[in-house]
Every structure is written in structure tokens, then in C-alpha cells.
Chains A and B, each alone.
Chain A
Amino acid sequence: MRIYVFLALTFLSFGQSRWTFAQDMSLQEILEPDKGWVVVTEGHQFTDGLCSDLQGNLFFTDVAKGGPIYKVDPEGKVSGFVTNALKISGLKIGPNGTFYAATQAPEKLIILIGLDGKTTVLATNVVPNDLVVSRKGIVYFTETGKGRIQMISPTGELRVADAGAYKPNGITLSPDQGTLVCTDFDGTHLFVFKVEADGSLSSRAPYMTAVTPLNKIQSLGDGMTTDGSGRYYAASAVGIQVFDPTGRLCGVIAKPENKFISNVTFAGKNHGFLYVSSSDKIYRREMKARGILYQAPAK
């Protein structure tokens, strides 16, 4: 009987490709069965700022305590990488290999941090939360409280890319970088933009609908990342929400524990591990999906 069912499914699947392009992706295609969350590091105060490099090293910060940018190598060894006294809420590596950071204290800034720890200020008089850097070297950062996204051109020009009645928080790009996505911390949607040739953002739409805790309208949508198939991952109150490239919810990955999660990214060997910053800890789990790097060349 099983063989019959298998054959039936095989035959039926022939007729389905036409209406199921790059959509209807399920959690089963993403998660490794029997591979759950594992603690990578603990004893921090409020972890955030997850990002990774080409080698699969993970970097993170403690936005409450400040201190170094931490590095976790693919084997799981944790070290302080770049020492500084800043409190960083958003961190990414740009096309030139240096860090771009959104700082909370002692001042709210967008800065460049070289591997030698030397910092360069890119923007002042800003209230940044999280950021993403395109292959062209354009920085997009969210100003959650102000309800806007600002951008900094490679030549250092700062301007408002979008503003509206929403609370943009986490921010990421599609693999081809033609689409930008952000979470809305206080809302029920994720907003999606077209990235124009000059890097400006257009056509904002509530393209994805987030799951919220029962009887609440706030998703608490926070840090985001993208995988190689163009799926979007967003930290949120109910877990890590995953959307396919057409904006359909694939499902919600459970949080490692019942605590606030601030950010999510792929790192480790082949960028095949999903890392999440959960309050005082960093967790990771092995995935079928593979991450994509913002600074990597287009596929």
C-alpha cells in the first residue's frame, strides 16, 4: 500500500510545478530533523548584532554591557575579537571586510570598525537600531523610534530612504539585493521595498504578515537574515518566522527558551547553522538551509 501511495504522489507531482514556483516552502525543507538548539555561549547580558564572515565565523555583541565584538569560530570557540567600549545593537560586515555598526552608547552613531579596532564615524545625529550593507557599500539602517530607514551612500551621503507609521527594526536584503525587507516591531507585517538602481527604496508594501502572540497585534519583529533560497528569517515574540520569496509564511521556528530573541543569522561550516541571540545566551542549530552573505557576489 505504501508503494502505491508513493507512486500516486510521484505521478500527481508532475502536474504541480506550474502553480508552485519558489513558494509553498515548508519548515521541513529548512530544519534538520532531530537537530535542536544548542548553547554556544552564555553569561552575557543582552546579546545582539549577529553577523558572519566568509569563513563562517559568527560575530556578536552585548548591547547592554558593551565591550568587545565577540567571535565564535565554526568549531564553537568564543573569543573577544575587536575590543572597544561601545554598545552595539546592529553589526554587519561590508564588502571591504570591515565592520559596520549601529551604536547605542556612549553615542548613537553609525561607525566603521576596522579589524584593528580603529573606528570611523559615518553618521551622527541618528537613532539607529539595526543595519545592513549592500554589495555596493550602501548602508541601510533602521531608526525604530522615528519610524524611518536611512541610507548612507558609499561616498558618505546620509539621507532618509523611507519614513512611515511603522517601527522598522531588523533589516535584510534578498540574495540579488533588488529587494529590501524590514520587520515592524510594533506591527503585524514585514515591509518590503524595491531597491532602485541608485540604491533608493521604493514601493513599500506590507508584503508579509507575521504571526503575533494570541490577542496581540505586536509581532516584536526584530533582527533578520536571508538564506540562499531567498527565504527571510525574522526574530519575533513567537519565534523565528520564516517567509518564502513570495512573502508566504513557511512557518515559525521555536525559540530556544522562553526569552526575548533579538537577532538571527547563518554562520558556521558552510553557513549551515542558524544562530540566535536569546537574552544572555547565543544558541545555534544545524539547518538544511544555507545562509547567504551580504558581501558575497551575486548568484
Chain B
Amino acid sequence: MNRLRFLLTLLTAWTLPPLVHAADEYKLTDDSLRQEGVPQGEVTKHTWSTSKNFPGTTREYWVYVPKQYDASKPACVMVFQDGGSYVRTNGEFRTTVVFDNLIHKKEMPVTIGIFINPGEFPAAEAGAKGRSNRSFEYDSLGDTYAKFVLEEILPEVGKSYNLAQTAEGRAIGGISSGGICAFTVAWERPSAFSKVLSHVGSFTNIRGGHVYHALIRKTERKPIRIFLQDGSGDLDNAHGNWPLANQEMAAALKYAKYDYQFVFGDGGHNGKHGGVLMPDALRWLWRDAAR
């Protein structure tokens, strides 16, 4: 390398960090912020410690009920994994604020949000640590998590609220491993969930999820609508390359003629871009159910 090129490289290195910093800069829109005159739904917190599908685990979940909920009519349902991150009103997603705004504008239907945290095995005694069951629940292919949602959480919430029983009235979403988990639930039970929202989904080989794009191409199309988001700065590690895996997913969904959207930004493995896109994603996923 000659001296001039070396200096130019240094100069480039000096001037680029602000540009690099500008990548993954996404700003929330008004739809994600509290608006005056918009009725606010109510959020309640619950614990689930009697799981049959994941015995021994305990977890928290939250239920959001919009102000417009009418017990005489089944409300649509949207289930989020890593629920604590999605339900926070000062985080990346602010899902309940978006729900309030879009339901008020009739841009999505009256929808009950269920925000589920992954299970944990609490420590048996002092000095021991709890063990997270997140990877086992979210990254595993198969129908165990779908059964957990359909046979445990939905019936429990259904005791208090009139929930939609059709796939058209049910959506499921998540981030990272929660993203592939949401896809797995719909893939295994398309008769129960028709809409998937995936943020920086882990369609990589954590526990075999890298096969989905190949399966999608050679499996008769399932009635699932999918909103995928990822960024060029996402992970590249022993499990795989997230940006490439999400592009493979999008290409397979396109090939198999799925009703899908893929938004590929320049963000990393976080919920910033996904959070900013949340209002658009919800409008798109619920477009024919809103009125």
C-alpha cells in the first residue's frame, strides 16, 4: 500500500464513523407515540407456571385489551414472543401504543394483544441460577410451542375475553428467535394462525431453522401472510448469516407465491427498524380485517 492510499484509508476511517453510526438510525413515527384523544387500552400482567408442554417452567405474560373491545364480539388476537420487550411503552416497539392508534383510526381490527415471555426454570435454591428455556422453545422446529400457545395460553386468556377462533383473526410475531418461533407456529398450525410478523428472524441453524426456505419451495403453499424485516448489519455467527437467511426466506416466499413483504434495511440485530415499521406492518397484515 503506498503512502497516499494509506493516508486516504486513515482519512476514510476517520470520517466514516458518523456514517456508520447513521446506519440503523430509525425514528418512530406518530403512530408509535401517544396521541391526544386516542383511547388507551388496558394491560394486565400474569404468570403461567403450570405448563404441560414445557413442564417445570414459569413465565410472565401480559394481556392488552383495547378500549373498543366488546365482549359480545370475538376480538382478533395477536401473540408476541419475548412479550416483555414488545409490551413496553418506552421501548423499540411500543406495540400497545401502536394498537391504540391504529384501532382508533380503524386501520387494524379490535385486537387483543398477548405478550408472552419465554419460560424459565427457577433456581431450586440459593446459589443456583435459573435456566432460560427460550432457545429450546423458540429455536426448535416442530409443534410443541404451537401447542403451548393453542392449548395453554389462548384457552387461559379466553376464559376472560371473547377471542377470535379463526386463523384470519389471529396473528403471531416476534424478534430474533421469537421471529422464527412465530413462523414455526403458523407453519405448524396454519389453520390457527394466518399472519406472521418477524423482526430480524433467526432463520439460521440454531436448531435447524435454516431449512425453512428449502421447505417453503417444496411444500404446497400454506395460507399464511408474512411480514419479514431484517438489516444488512444483522448477525453473522456459527449459526449462520441472518441477512442472507432472511433474503433466502424472502426469495422462497416469492417463489412459492406467498402473500409476503420483506423490508431489508441497514440495521443490526435489534428491534429499532422493526419498531419503526410496526404501524406499517400491522396495517399490511390486518388490511382485510380492519374496518
Contact = CB atoms under 8 A, between A and B. Distances in A.
Interface of A: 1, 3-4, 7-8, 11-12, 15-16, 18-20, 23-28, 174, 176-179, 192, 194-197, 202-203, 205, 207, 209, 245-251, 298
Contacts of B127: 176, 298
A178 B237 CA distance: 29
A27 B125 CA distance: 32
B237 to A, nearest CB: 5
Given A12-B233, A24-B237, A245-B131, A197 B270 contact: no
A16 B13 contact: no
A253 B217 CA distance: 33
A202 B13 contact: no
A248 B12 contact: no
B239 A12 contact: no
Nearest to B205: A249
B121 A248 contact: no
Contacts of A15: 24, 267-270, 272
B235 interface: yes
A18 B267 CA distance: 15
Instruction: Please give me the 9 A-B residue pairs with the lowest Cβ-Cβ distance, nearest first.
Output: A203-B56, A178-B128, A26-B238, A3-B13, A246-B135, A197-B125, A176-B128, A15-B268, A15-B270
Q: Interface size bucket, B side?
A: 35 or more
B33 interface: no
Contact of B268 (A12, A27, A197, A250): A12
A177 B128 contact: yes
A245 B12 CA distance: 41
From A15, A19, A192, A251, residue with most partner B Cβ within 10 Å: A19
Contacts of B128: 176-178, 195
B139 to A, nearest CB: 7
B215 interface: no
Contacts of A202: 55-56
Given A24-B237, A24-B238, A194-B131, A16 B268 contact: yes
Contacts of B270: 15-16, 18-19
Given A7-B13, A19-B270, A205 B239 contact: no
B239 A24 contact: yes
Nearest to B85: A18
Contacts of B208: 209
7 contacts: A12-B233, A176-B123, A194-B121, A202-B55, A205-B133, A247-B135, A250-B238
Interface stretch (B14-22, B148-156, B159-167): B14-22
A19 B175 contact: yes
B237 A8 contact: no
Contact of B269 (A20, A196, A298): A20
B50 interface: no
A293 B177 CA distance: 33
B129 interface: yes
B222 interface: no
A119 B127 CA distance: 33
A207 B127 CA distance: 22
A248 B202 CA distance: 13
Contacts of B54: 205
B13 A178 contact: no
A293 B16 CA distance: 48
A70 B133 CA distance: 40
A176 B136 CA distance: 20
B129 A26 contact: no
B134 interface: yes
A16 B124 contact: no
Contact of B16 (A7, A19, A245): A7
